[in-house]
A and B are shown apart, each in its own frame.
Chain A
Amino acid sequence: DQQVKQNSPSLSVQEGRISILNCDYTNSMFDYFLWYKKYPAEGPTFLISISSIKDKNEDGRFTVFLNKSAKHLSLHIVPSQPGDSAVYFCAASVRRNTGKLIFGQGTTLQVKP
C-alpha cells in the first residue's frame, strides 16, 4: 500500500520556466509534508516543508502548495535552473513527533539550458 505517490517518474523543463512536481497521498492522518532533492551518490537534501495547518509555504524559488481536500501537494520551482536537475522526493509523516517519514517514489527533473 503506497501511501505517498508521485505519479510522474520524470519531468523535463526549459531553463527559466516553471517546474511543477506533484505528489498525492492517501492517509488523511498525515500532518507534515516535506520535499527532498537527491543527486546520484548523495543523500537526500531537505528543500521545503509544510504543516497541514497551512496551504502554502514559500522559500526563495521554491513554493509548496497543499490541498488537503484533494490530498495533493505540489512543489513549484521558479525560475528553473540546470542545477535543479535531480530526483525530487515528496515525504509525509503522521504526527510530527513520530519520526516515521514515508517517501514517494521520486520524480526525476531535468532542466535543459
Chain B
Amino acid sequence: DTEVTQTPKHLVMGMTNKKSLKCEQHMGHRAMYWYKQKAKKPPELMFVYSYEKLSINESVPSRFSPECPNSSLLNLHLHALQPEDSALYLCASSLDRGGKLFFGSGTQLSVL
C-alpha cells in the first residue's frame, strides 16, 4: 500500500462551521505533513509531525488545528475559517522527517 488517503475530496463550509480533514497512510511512515496550495501557486508547508509530535508549525493561524492521533492518521480541524482560506489542502507522509514525500490527492476546500 503506497497511498496517502485524504477525505473528503471536496468540502464547502461557512465561516461559522467546524469541520475536519482526515489523512491516512499505512506505509509505516513516521512523518506526516499538511500543505496548502492556492490556484497556480506552489504548495506551502503548514505543519510537520514527526513520530506523532508536532515539530514544525509555519505560523499557521489558530483557526487551523492539527492532530495526530497515531502514526497512521493525521487530522486538520477547521473552525471559523475565512474565504481566503479556500484552497487545496494536501496531506503527505515520508519514512522519516525530510525524506521523499508521498502526497494524497488533497481536499478542495471552499469557504463561503
Contact = CB atoms under 8 A, between A and B. Distances in A.
Contact of A43 (B31, B50, B99, B106): B106
A75 B101 CA distance: 18
A89 B50 CA distance: 24
B4 interface: yes
A32 B4 CA distance: 23
A89 B92 CA distance: 15
A55 to B, nearest CB: 20
A99 B100 contact: no
Contacts of A103: 42-44
Given A44-B43, A99-B55, A93 B98 contact: yes
Contact of A96 (B43, B98, B102, B106): B98
B105 interface: yes
Given A44-B90, A99-B33, 12 more contacts: A34-B100, A41-B108, A43-B104, A44-B43, A89-B42, A89-B43, A98-B98, A99-B50, A99-B56, A99-B94, A100-B56, A101-B101
A1 interface: no
Residue from B48, B98, B104 having most chain A Cβ neighbours under 10 A = B98
Interface of A: 4, 32, 34, 36, 41-46, 49, 89, 93, 95-106
Contact of B4 (A43, A97, A102): A43
Given A101-B45, A103-B43, A46 B100 contact: yes
Nearest to A45: B103
Contacts of B6: 43
B102 A46 contact: yes
B97 interface: yes
A99 B103 CA distance: 14
B31 to A, nearest CB: 6
Contact of A95 (B42, B50, B56, B98): B98
7 contacts: A4-B42, A43-B92, A43-B106, A99-B48, A102-B45, A103-B42, A104-B42
Contact of B48 (A4, A49, A100, A106): A100
B96 A97 contact: yes
